[in-house]
Amino acid sequence: MSQLPFDDDAPVYVISIAAQLSGLHPQTLRQYDRLGIVSPGRSTGRGRRYSARDIAALREVQKLTNEGINLAGVKRIIELELQVGALQARLAELHAELEAVSARVETSARQAAAEAARAARRDLVPFSRDGAAIVVWRPDPR
């Protein structure tokens, strides 16, 4: 099967085709549009144009109403699903940001540890035991 030249959000279906694809009457689609349940795009002549995503939403509305949910409930369910999707996207953004900050902190900690190790090595004086004496300096306790 070939790929369609448009994406799921492209408003390409007129109301009669959208009604056939969704299994609903065109008047039902107009009612859903008026209620804000499924809002299709508009052509330059103000005709409704439905996308593949709109068709899927219409099928979902039909499924929910067949289960006994009224249109106000369906609208609320759709709103909540959109809100959940937005929150999931935001959570993914925050998770990616946290990972980036954690990586920077880890890198900084490694660099600080390496610098501390280099500084400690500069403070040490090499000592060999081939007959040399160790002189310990103690400050005058006055």
Q: How far apart are CA 58 and CA 1, in angstroms?
A: 24
Q: Which CATH class is domain 1-69?
A: mainly alpha
With a pLDDT cut of 90, the percent of the chain lying above it is 65
DSSP 141: -
Give the pTM. 0.63
> How confident is the model over 97-130, as pLDDT tens digits?
999 999 999 999 999 988 888 877 666 666 666 7
Residue in 82, 15, 31, 23 with CA at minimum distance from that of residue 56: 23
Collapsing DSSP states into helix, strand and coil, what is residue 1? coil
